[in-house]
Amino acid sequence: MLDLQAADSKLDHLAHRRSTLPEAAELESLAAEHARLRDAEVVASTTVSDLEREQKRADTDVEQVRTRKARDQKRLDDGQVASPKELENLQSEIASLERRQSVLEDTELEVMERLEQAQREAESTASERESVGRKAQEVQAARDAAWAEIDQEAASVRDERAAIAAEMPDELLSLYEKIRSERDGVGAAALHQKRCEGCRLQLDAAELNHIRGLAPEVVVRHEECRRILVRTAESGV
């Protein structure tokens, strides 16, 4: 009876260990971190492509002004413009284009800096996500190995338990199961030095006297906790 209880307690303990493995909790938090980084990566790469478009636009703007200025300059250099009024207009347009080009080049530079910053962020997010992914794989492997070990041990304890249960009368077995389900997984306990090992209470003299008078094959139950009390050489009765 005590062997059966020991096997059941062992199985309960293994099931508890299986469900509270630190690796499983760590894996959960890594998975959450991985999902967060994946979202951040999407945001970062969207920012990068937005800025790439903005940079192309800034490049085109600068190029247009530069071309127009070169054309005006060529007209000026070729001496094609004779009228002083027209010459003045042309020079003023070139000056204005130069100012415009300088403003556009500042914008172009600023967009480029923002793009480089965004690219660095996207790269670091991606590499962080990859490293979290690798760590998650390691932890998952460790969790699976721990599970496999626990499952293997549980299978062997279940075999032992089945062998023990097969030797027991059905009635006693179902009484034990019933008490076990109602009393924190402990259906049977040793009577050890006048104490119930199930509830840890000392038995009083009257109860001990009563137990002393019972034949060894009689199933004894502790009055206090109703568990099956198993008499041993160290029971003190």
Chain residues that interact with Zn ion, rule: CB under 5 A: 196, 198-199, 222, 225
Between residues 13 and 183, which has the closer beta carbon with respect to Zn ion? 183
CB 196, min distance to Zn ion, A: 3
Between residues 143 and 222, which has the closer beta carbon with respect to Zn ion? 222
Q: Six-digit token pair at 235?
A: 């029971």
Between residues 162 and 214, which has the closer beta carbon with respect to Zn ion? 214
Q: Six-digit token pair at 144?
A: 């699976």
CA–CA distances in Å: residue 63 to residues 89, 94, 152, 195: 22, 15, 72, 96
CB 183, min distance to Zn ion, A: 9
Q: Six-digit token pair at 140?
A: 């998952």
CB 223, min distance to Zn ion, A: 8
CB 175, min distance to Zn ion, A: 15
Nearest residue to Zn ion, scored by beta-carbon proximity:
196
Q: Counting beta carbons within 10 angstroms of the beta carbon of residue 169, is it exposed (0 to 12), middle (13 to 18) or buried (19 or more)?
A: exposed
CB 158, min distance to Zn ion, A: 27
CB 140, min distance to Zn ion, A: 43
Between residues 187 and 198, which has the closer beta carbon with respect to Zn ion? 198
Helices first, then strands: H and E counts in the chain: 5, 4
CB 196 within 8 A of CB 189: yes
Provide DSSP, 151-171.
HHHHHHHHHHHHHHHHTS-HH
CB 154 within 8 A of CB 15: yes
Query: For residue 37, how far is the Cα from the chain centroid?
Result: 13
Between residues 157 and 196, which has the closer beta carbon with respect to Zn ion? 196
CB 198, min distance to Zn ion, A: 4
CB 94 within 8 A of CB 69: yes
Between residues 82 and 218, which has the closer beta carbon with respect to Zn ion? 218
Between residues 127 and 202, which has the closer beta carbon with respect to Zn ion? 202
Closest CA relative to residue 225, chosen from 184, 164, 171: 184
d(CA 63, CA 9): 81
